[in-house]
Chains A and B, each alone.
Chain A
């Protein structure tokens, strides 16, 4: 059984650019959630995907968007990057129903 993986591990972008982060869910999991964790803070829920459809969203603007693919892997896209988008981006996979999530190691994004 493989765990949750994310790519890339680190990324540097400039303000105004766009970024795509990727997540492979744990084998057998059909739900992926994305979180933003600023330094010294707890993760903030961005959105969740279940069977390729958005299934819940936190308080993030529309420039944060996502996709889930038939194999349940997922992408997080952020347009028009701002300095405050610098953070650790985490994805977590789970089975719909049991509220147990398993996290990947995260992607550290720095916006200059």
Chain B
């Protein structure tokens, strides 16, 4: 069983639509990261959130860390085909162990 559960697993939307990806756990994390991964490549870090309730914005992407530091969400506004990829959340515990969710595969159709 995964320590972090991501939903949905798959998402196929039209260009211009908004979407939200969720990352949930029953465990508390000292921080949480979001990554995007292209096929055959390593994950690329998008953001790290550390404080409960923290909200970070990166252009059209908005990341939120839950107040209890157990969950997080990624919201994309006006999705573009270039946003297509596998989105992964990862939680850090004790500063030296990282746990990844199983990922959300996003396909944005032009």
Partner-B contacts on A (CB < 8 A): 4, 33, 35, 41-45, 48, 50, 55-56, 58, 88, 90, 92, 96-106, 108
Flag whether B59 is at the interface (Cβ < 8 A): no
- Extra A-B contacts (8), CB below 8 Å, given A45-B97, A101-B33: A42-B4, A43-B90, A43-B100, A48-B96, A58-B97, A99-B98, A103-B44, A105-B40
Count residues of chain B with CB under 8 A from any CB of chain A. 28
Given A99-B31, A101-B33, A44 and B97 touching (CB < 8 A)?
Answer: no
From B41, B88, B97, A106 is in contact (CB under 8 Å) with: B41
Contacts of B50 in A (CB 8 A): 99
Contacts A41-B103, A106-B41 given; indicate if A101 touches B88 (C-beta within 8 A).
no
Q: Which residues of A are found within 8 Å of B2, using beta-carbon distances?
A: 42
B41 lies within 8 A of A105 (CB)? yes
On whether A42 and B33 interact (CB within 8 A), knowing A90-B43, A108-B40, the answer reads: no
Question: Nearest residue in A to B101 (C-beta to C-beta)?
Answer: A42
Are A100 and B33 touching (Cβ within 8 A)? yes
